[in-house]
Structure 1
Amino acid sequence: MDHRLPRAVLFDRDGTLIRDVPYNGDPDLVEPMPTAVQAVQLLRAHGIRIGVVTNQSGIGRGLVGAAEVEAVNARVELVFGGFDVWRVCPHHPDDGCACRKPAPGLLMDACDALGVAPEDVAMLGDIGADMAAAEAAGVRGILVPTEVTRHEEIRAAREVAATTGDAVRTLLGDRSAA
């Protein structure tokens, strides 16, 4: 597909970086997805900026507090060594906000914060909403399916990788061994 090295990579949090624990407010439940920590380290080693764009509707639903989500995000930062940008949508799905994926708002805002044009950014996520947000934002999307990813989402994705590490190696091309 695209053989240019991205200037930035955005990750979905739940199901892509860490195991998805619905409406998680407990930092002790943070568990990295297989290959995710190494994938983030590989991007850093290549000087590629990294960020997280995550829907956290549990806040809008009243199931988890913003401070609890921030505590989970802080643990993710600790496990992965930090990110250049975080963008979180706290809204309920019925709120009609412009930031909740599949809308492009989170991704566009992250690109702006990083000072990187969308065409120089890749997005890794585990569901169709992540890929739809990438498409709407003009960002390259790579789907990393999990057990919750629907078959039609996999079929619809332009690019699919078995793991987060595989997706990053795809983005880096033959540079991943360097």
Structure 2
Amino acid sequence: MKSLPKAVFFDRDGTLNVDTGYVHDSENLIWMPGALEIVSDLTAAGWLVFVVTNQSGVARGYYTEEEVVKLHEWMNKRFAENGGHVTEFFYCPHLPEAKIAKYNITCECRKPGPQMILKAFEYYNIHKNRAFLFGDGKRDIEAAERAGIPGFLFHGGNIREFVHNNLPRTKD
């Protein structure tokens, strides 16, 4: 019998890349130290890697969903060049006080809501006992808790070292 997949969820801005404010193109993305390497390490070890990110810049009219998708595709190419792979990027473009009407909703996908994580559980047959989240904000940790998984609060530095020092060992 095949074992269920192991999964790591990352917040994006402030965890995989430096949060310089509404990052939406590759020219403005600065990798967090160790980001490319940790995705490679996890991929090589058989983990599914996901990104769950609030992108309120879409709702505010700063950039489009297409720009978010294009940036995520670019990021995954950089991960692949280093031997890594993000299985899927989940993002929430909503904001209750949004400038753009179609994004002006209260939803459960916007962290601290757990919906992005729960979608991955459903689509990829992930059990919460085999999943973890790393993020730089309280809303990331709350989303993890609401999804029933451990969350680790990253305060900056080298994300690869942080993950290796905090990721529980799992049996296969």
What TM-score, normalized to structure 1?
A: 0.80
Q: Which moved more, 1:72-81 or 1:120-129?
A: 72-81
Counterparts in 2 of 1:93 and 1:118: CA distance versus 1, 3 Å: farther
Q: How many residues align?
A: 155
Distance of 2:134 and 2:150 partners within structure 1: 9
- Counterpart for residue 85 of structure 1: 88
Identity %: 36
What TM-score, normalized to structure 2?
A: 0.82
**In the TM superposition, what is the alpha-carbon distance from 1:31 to its structure 2 partner?**
2.0
**In the TM superposition, what is the alpha-carbon distance from 1:128 to its structure 2 partner?**
0.5
Residues 144, 167 of structure 1: 8 Å contact kept: yes
Q: 1:171 is matched with which residue: 144, 167, 170? A: 167
Distance of 1:100 and 1:137 partners within structure 2: 13
Structure 1, unaligned runs of 5 or more: 1-5, 147-161
Distance of 2:129 and 2:96 partners within structure 1: 27
SS at match of 1:8: strand
Distance of 2:106 and 2:114 partners within structure 1: 13
- Counterpart for residue 22 of structure 1: 21
Q: How does 1:23-172 map to 2 (within 5 A)?
A: 23-81=22-80, 82-94=85-97, 95-146=105-156, 163-169=158-164, 170-171=166-167
Moved over 3 A (4+): none
CA RMSD of aligned residues (A): 2.0
Q: Which moved more, 1:102-111 or 1:19-28?
A: 19-28
Residues 13, 23 of structure 2: 8 Å contact kept: no
**In the TM superposition, what is the alpha-carbon distance from 1:124 to its structure 2 partner?**
0.6
Structure 2, unaligned runs of 5 or more: 98-104
Distance of 2:27 and 2:74 partners within structure 1: 8
Higher helix share: 1
**In the TM superposition, what is the alpha-carbon distance from 1:21 to its structure 2 partner?**
2.8
Distance of 2:94 and 2:20 partners within structure 1: 18
Residues 12, 126 of structure 1: 8 Å contact kept: yes
Residues 39, 86 of structure 2: 8 Å contact kept: no
Q: Deviations over 1:24-72 (max 9, x none)?
A: 2222122210011111111112111111111001111111111111121
